[in-house]
Structure 1
Amino acid sequence: MIKRIIAFFFTLAVFAANALAQAPVVFNGGDNVVIGEHVSILEDTANNLTVESVKNHPGFSASTSQVPNLQLSKSSFWLKFTVTNKSDADHLLLWAEYPMLNTCDFYYPVNGVYKVKNFSDRKIFAERKYKHQDFVIDIDLAKDSTATYYLKVASTEQIILPLILGTPQKVAESTLTKNLLWGILMGLLIVMVLYNFFVFISTRDVSYLYYVLYTLFIGLTQASLSGYTYHYLFSNSPLLYSKVLIVFPGLAGISAVLFVTSFLHTKQRTPKLHKVFPIVALLYAVAIFLRLFGFDHASYRMIDISALSVTISIYAAAIITSIQGYRPAKFFLVAWTIFLIGLVLFVLRNLGVLPYNGYTSYTMQVGTAFEVTLLSLALADRINIFKAEKERSQQETLEALKENERIVREQNIVLEAKVTERTHELNESLENLKEAQSQLVEAEKMASLGQLTAGIAHEINNPINFVTANINPLKRDLDMVLDAINVIEEIGLSEASSTEKQKKIADYKEELDFDYLLVEMNHLIKGIHEGASRTAEIVKGLRIFSRLDEDDLKRADLNEGLESTMIIANNLIGNNVKIIKEYGELPLVECYAGKLNQVFLNIISNAAYAIEKKFEGSEGGALKLETYIDGDNAIIKISDNGIGMSDETMRKVFEPFFTTKDVGEGTGLGMSIAYNTIKKHHGHLLVKSEVGKGSEFTMQIPVIFDASGQV
């Protein structure tokens, strides 16, 4: 047992000695040398070690990988390596091919004292000696000389640090090759983005838009991880560059989720798996949020978790939809597989399983190029599928149309017979409809005739009563005059003297009150004359209103027609209603005068009804009639201060059978007939109204002028 313990500690001591005595890098010139296996590594968890304190520090451990993987840590790492220069060049370059180092301090000996050169991705790019996104460090070492160097590094990202030693020419050749390959990749991605964006504009297929976003952000992600966005986009904004290291991958992951769900139709084809994708997108969003608010290490871990989740989810969805026979999914599966192979090879290189060389350095980029190309082909193949489905659908539609044509031909005879029968029935229905329409119009005319009759009876009755009342007194007075003539004749024929005759006649006239009798007879005759004149005026108004020639277009005085309508409608308007007439000078207008008078009567009767409803016979009601010329139109306005109309009533006021009057008070056809009459005159009938304030109807009747400006 004691021997085993001694052997264990002996082995441990040998291991420690080997760790501290890591073999130096012997540079013989020629190609660049990857020195990862010649490096010893010390983790500074407290971030307080100095170069003097780490010279003989026992905590250094030898790197066993070509590319040291320092993981994600808040610690600083010291890398120690020794270089023996056997080449003819005394000026070498150390190329640290990892652009995301927040701290990169290079310690080099000068006469036994270590001096330092400070590098960082948090500095402005223009401050660098070598204008490259990676860290390129000068090493001055004479031929056959040996020196030990220290490199202190720290980063908020996971540090995978390839260290390459070479001459300036060879390092320049390698960086040039790297830039050239990256330029080819970026060019390919830009072509794919532009091409598929134009396809999206023409097809409006949202899958193309998601593909464009995914390709754009995956390109920006890889360009950021390789430092190119720091070099070309954010050279003066190092802080912004540190943010996009997570923001771009996060947006790429979200775009990938959107593209996969749209392209593979996961909601229909893999409904259970589809529910996972919003969660993955949320993880990416959380990673972006953490980086934007300064939680750098947490954001990196979250992006790792999101990437693992989205990779598994997308791969599972692609396999399931491929098994279901969805052909575009097979393209997608091949593309995603190639991308994953490139990514795995890249990781294996970083872990030291694969050697670090020109082939393994660009496996992820090559995988990305194949992926975006195959995905573009998959989208194009989907268009071909849609095209084939459309052609098949069109063929089926054509066959269905041919079958329908055959059916139509067979049914034509039956349909023609039915059409003839239905046409006969329709003609009968139309005749019945015309008859019903005529009856309704006649009913409205009869209603208007009733108003007309009532108006005439009311207007003529007063003067006729006045004449009738004066006839009997006039007859009585006339009898008295005749009797007086007989008496005077008898006195004149008597044998009495002239003086006696004159005295008897004077006495008789005084007894008869002859002078007053003459005055009374003159007054009665004047009253009869006034009644007869009023009756004649009413008859004239009736003649003007009725216009027996109303079916002919003739020139008419609209003011005269409006005034005659007021005579007819006088009985509808209460005695307490104020009538305001503002008649302008109107030319004779070619119109159907009788029909226009009917329109005037309908509007005036409605106005009288509205005033009566509001004032109920008391004072305050007003009816205004206004006419004037406006350009080529004669304007007739009839307004009242009655109950007014709501917006809904105004919208329906010209509809047939619509009425707000009580049952038996109106047919609902008056305003419809008025509207159609004005329209027949090529005019307009407008209405403005407000509940509680009244209504205003405006009629615009065109006036036709000749070339000289005459009507």
Structure 2
Amino acid sequence: MINRISAVFLFLFFTLNASFAQQVLTFKGELAPIGDRVEILTDSNSTMSLRSALSSKEFKRSSGSQFPNLGTTPYSYWIRFTLKNESNSKAMGIQLTQSMMDYVDFYQVQGDSVTRTNFTGHRRPFNNRFVKHQTYIYQVPIIKGESQTIYLKVKSGKQLTLPIYVGSIEEVVENAMIIDLLFGIYLGIIMVMLLYNLFIYFSIRDITYLYYVSYLGIVMLTQASMQGYIFRFILPAYPEIADMFIYISTSLIGIAAIEFSKHFLSSKQYTPLLHRISYIFWALYGIQISLAIAGFHNFSYTMMLALAMVSAVYVLYMAVVIMLKGFRPAKFFLIAWTGFIFCVIIYVLKDFDLIFHYNNITNFTLLIGSAFEAIMLSFALADKINILKVEKEQSQLETLKALQENERIIKEQNVVLEARVIERTSELHEANEELNSTLENLKQTQSQLVESEKMASLGQLTAGIAHEINNPINFVTSNINPLKRDIDILLAALDEIEIVGLSDSTISAKQLRIKEYKEELDFDYLKVEINQLVKGINEGASRTAEIVKGLRVFSRLDEDDLKKADINQCLDSTMIIANNQLNNNIKVIMEYGELPLVECYAGKLNQVFLNIIINGIHAIHTKFGSTSGGELKIATYADEENVFINIYDNGIGMGPETQKKIFEPFFTTKDVGEGTGLGMSIAYNTIKKHKGQISVMSSPGEGSQFSLQIPIHNNQSLSHLN
């Protein structure tokens, strides 16, 4: 690899001329920074090759700082210095302790050739490095008394500082171990605090501790990422992911710090405005991450530094405001946060090369500050537990005092209460008797109203029933006198035949006399007339018997118990009762299904059917008057558990408001004196007590349909139906 690259980058003849101006750095055996003695060349296009750098006369001496700060720019920089070994060590070491540089190209030049090269950086595979460490370590073999020139090309999307150390390779490795040791101490502190607070969370289940543990975990990952340990140990083969993790984790630590602070300080309660403002930082950090993902690394890192300072000051201000409002935990939080903010400010100002400059202390300020913050915030959380404990003890003491006071008051009030209870019991007894009396009166009134409705219904039907019975009775009464007359003629004829039969006349004379007498009586017509009169009397009697039977079935006066009944027969008997209301201008359609016997109080159901049918007839008469066109349809069917009865009329129908009130007691749309308003209420209660259902569908001007559902079997005795 070295021979191939050496062949490409041959040392040109003009190299000696360019190197004469270089200052030679003499190494005498002590590890030391050399940043103030190197030469730097800015490559603003990041396209300069080693050939161009070797011949360039644009190299300038560094500003004098031991750790040159090149800022946050998209440029590449060439660093050149010549080392001369005046120590007994045969191998010198060069270390760049800034682990976040994206690209670091190393060239070792001796005489007229490039002797060694190495291309590494945070955005290149970790295994490219000479020494497998998160810092950049190069072993440079130089014989005592000789010198070699080193060229470094560096570029970074983050803050670019050049902490370059030169010493023996042993000293460089020892310095790397010290860096690892210091981070290990920091990691130990954070892990102890994290596990300690996680244990407390599982003990007391205070969500604040979970926020804090999450915050500590993000802090630990962020510092490990910025110091290069994530790249070294977790993602050595994925440099781009490891580098992007820096931008993401630094944003997450800001968000986590704000969210923990809000929860710990109860900002929503004490400073609601500041609590809402915090969500602006979510958006800003989101923009910062998006810029990094889009490739604007320098701008993203600069924005991250600015947000770090602003968010730290925001949290500090919120803590001061809440502390002034008397929230004691805010004092400890303020101490912890002030120290951390101070370290953040130092770190940011160091990166911007303002007031503070890069050195071993400022480089580790975030580690120092976050460790100090972790310890102090743990104290703050512990103090919060003490506060809660004191508040709990105080609350328990106050509760105990309140209980004792309540006990005293209760004892004093017991005597008064006992007297009042006796007095009140007597009053309640009297009131109870009055209520029982009132309830009995209401029951009697209810029974009377129901009976009144029954009588009103029967009263409306009495004239029609009398008319229905009067028609067949007229058949009987009008035929009795003619039949009596015909019977008298027959009896007289018998007497005459007897006389003829007992006379001495000849048989032929007797036959002639009887024939003449029959012709005289018009005997053949007499027989026809008697048959017709008997038939008329029979039809009138049968019709009367049928009406009487219908009345008996309708009223069920002989059935006071729960019995099985034929619903179709009940509807027929009801129609017999209501027949006179039809006035021969309403068409009746009966569509009966095959129904099983239903366990019910048939007389009560007949009253339900009658109320619905009479209301339908009334609605038809209201719409059609004495003209034809009215239609009343009754349909029945059954399933395994219920029978269903649909009663439809094409009368005036009902609006939604009327349908809502149709089953309410005393509600009626009829004129005063035409109805009590109890018919449909009784129907509703009767069906409900049969454990059935009743519903109505209606549209104004189109008619109404009442749908009834009645269980076939009633396993429990029905309550008394009025």
1:452–1:569 Cα contact (<8 Å) kept: no
* Alpha-carbon contact 1:200-1:209 (below 8 Å) kept: yes
Distance 2:690 2:455 in 1: 20
Deviation at 1:677, TM superposition (A): 1.5
CA shift for structure 1 position 506: 1.4
Q: Distance in 1 between matches of 2:376 and 2:365?
A: 16
- State yes or no: 1:474 paired with 2:480: yes
State the distance in 2 between where 1:354 and 1:288 align: 27
Distance in 2 between residues matched to 1:526 and 1:78, nearest whole Å:
137
Matches within 5 A, 1:298-697: 298-343=299-344, 356-357=359-360, 362-404=364-406, 406=409, 408-409=413-414, 412=417, 413-414=419-420, 416-418=422-424, 420-422=426-428, 424-429=430-435, 431-433=437-439, 435-440=441-446, 442-448=448-454, 450-451=456-457, 458=464, 461-486=467-492, 489=495, 498=510, 501-503=513-515, 505-510=517-522, 513-542=525-554, 545-546=556-557, 548-550=559-561, 556-559=563-566, 563-564=569-570, 566-571=572-577, 576-586=587-597, 589=599, 593-594=600-601, 597-599=603-605, 601-602=607-608, 605-606=611-612, 609=615, 618=629, 622-627=633-638, 630=640, 634-640=641-647, 657=665, 664=675, 666-667=677-678, 669-670=681-682, 672-674=684-686, 676-679=688-691, 685=693, 694=705, 696-697=707-708
Give the SS at the match of 2:222: helix
> What's the offset of the Cα at 1:661?
6.0
1:481 partner letter: I
- Give the Cα–Cα distance (whole angstroms) in 1 for the partners of residues 136 and 649 of structure 2: 93
Letter in structure 2 aligned against 1:524: G
**Once the 2 structures are TM-superposed, how far is the Cα of residue 283 of structure 1 from its aligned partner?**
3.1
Q: Which residue is equivalent to 1:4?
A: none
Distance 1:701 1:381 in 2: 75
The alignment status of 1:68 with 2:73, answered yes or no, reads no
Distance in 2 between residues matched to 1:102 and 1:66, nearest whole Å: 21
- Distance in 2 separating the partners of 1:33 and 1:570: 125
Contact 2:593 2:637 in 1 (8 A): yes
CA distance in 2 between partners of 1:129 and 1:658 (Å): 104
Once the two structures are TM-superposed, the CA of residue 113 in structure 1 deviates from its matched residue by: 2.4
Q: What 5-or-longer segments of structure 2 have no aligned partner?
A: 1-19, 717-722
2:346/2:356 contact within 8 Å kept = no
Give distance in 1, aligned partners of 2:654 and 2:234.
Answer: 69
Conserved? CA contact 2:329–2:383, under 8 Å: yes
In 1: Cα distance, 2:664 partner to 2:53 partner: 104
- Residues 649 and 370 of structure 1, relative CA distance in 2, 3 Å threshold: farther
Inter-partner Cα distance in structure 1 for 2:661 and 2:198:
56
Deviation at 1:157, TM superposition (A): 0.8
Are the aligned partners of 2:486 and 2:530 in contact in 1 as well (CA < 8 Å)? no
> 1:365 corresponds to which letter in structure 2?
L
Alignment: residue pair count: 664
The CA deviation string for residues 456-494 of structure 1, in whole angstroms up to 9 with x for no partner, is 764574244212332122223213422553476368659
Give CA deviations for 1:595-641 in whole Å, capped at 9, x if unaligned.
x652464267447756986997846653222345x3xxx52222345
Report the identity percentage: 25
Q: Secondary structure at the match of 2:241?
A: helix
Q: 1:353 to 1:380 in 2, by over 3 A?
A: closer
The question of 1:44 aligning with 2:55 is answered no
User: Is 1:40–1:80's contact at 8 Å kept on the other side of the alignment?
Assistant: yes
Aligned to 2:257: 256
User: Does residue 275 of structure 2 align to residue 265 of structure 1?
Assistant: no
SS of equivalent to 2:158: coil
What is the CA–CA distance in structure 2 between the aligned matches of 1:524 and 1:347, rounded to whole Å? 125
Give the Cα–Cα distance (whole angstroms) in 2 for the partners of residues 612 and 198 of structure 1: 83
Match of 2:16 in 1: none
Counterparts of 2:698 and 2:183, CA distance in 1: 76
Judged with a 3 Å threshold, the aligned counterparts in structure 2 of structure 1 residues 282 and 666 are, in CA distance, closer, same or farther, namely same
* d(CA) in 2 for partners of 1:180, 1:250: 27
- For normalisation by structure 1, the TM-score amounts to 0.79
Give the Cα–Cα distance (whole angstroms) in 1 for the partners of residues 443 and 202 of structure 2: 58
Equivalent position SS for 1:563: helix
Instruction: Work out the CA distance in 1 between the residues paired with 2:537 and 2:172.
Output: 139
For residue 370 of structure 1, report the CA deviation from its aligned partner: 2.8
The one-character-per-residue Cα deviations of 1:568-602 (angstroms, maximum 9, x if unpaired) are 3555586524222223445x85xxx43x6524642
Answer yes or no: is 1:136 the counterpart of 2:137.
yes
1:321 positional shift = 2.7
Paired residues of 2:120 and 2:126 also in contact (CA < 8 A): no
1:72-83 alignment, distance < 5 Å:
72-83=72-83
The residue type equivalent to 2:138 in the other structure is I
Secondary structure of 1:95 counterpart: strand
In structure 2, give the amino acid aligned to 1:379.
L
- CA contact under 8 A between 2:288 and 2:300: conserved in structure 1? yes
> In structure 2, how many angstroms separate the alpha carbons of the residues matched to 1:49 and 1:314?
45
Which aligned pairs between 1:5-154 and structure 2 lie closer than 5 A? Answer: 22=23, 24-28=25-29, 32-55=31-54, 57=57, 59-114=59-114, 116-154=117-155
Change (3 A) 1:222 1:557: same
Give the deviation of 1:182 after TM superposition.
3.4
Contact preservation (8 Å) 2:472, 2:540: yes
8 Å CA contact retained: 1:38, 1:62: yes
Amino acid at match of 1:670: I
What is the distance in 1 between the residues matched to 2:90 and 2:654? 104
Task: Kindly indicate whether the alpha-carbon contact (under 8 Å) linking 2:74 and 2:156 is maintained by their aligned counterparts in 1.
Answer: yes
2: distance between equivalents of 1:567 and 1:418? 57
Distance 1:455 1:230 in 2: 103
1:331 and 1:243 mapped to 2: Cα distance?
Answer: 35
2: distance between equivalents of 1:655 and 1:483? Answer: 65
Match of 1:57, SS? coil
Secondary structure of 1:582's aligned partner: coil
| DSSP-derived class of the 2:323 partner | helix
State the distance in 2 between where 1:199 and 1:642 align: 78
Cross-structure match for 1:225: 226
- How many angstroms apart in 2 are the aligned matches of 1:607 and 1:378? 84
Change (3 A) 1:38 1:532: same
Q: Structure 2: how far apart are the matches of 1:514 and 1:662?
A: 56
Amino acid paired to 2:65: S
- Residue 71 and residue 455 in structure 1: after superposition, are their counterparts in 2 closer, same or farther (change >3 A)? same
The answer on 1:293 being equivalent to 2:294 is yes
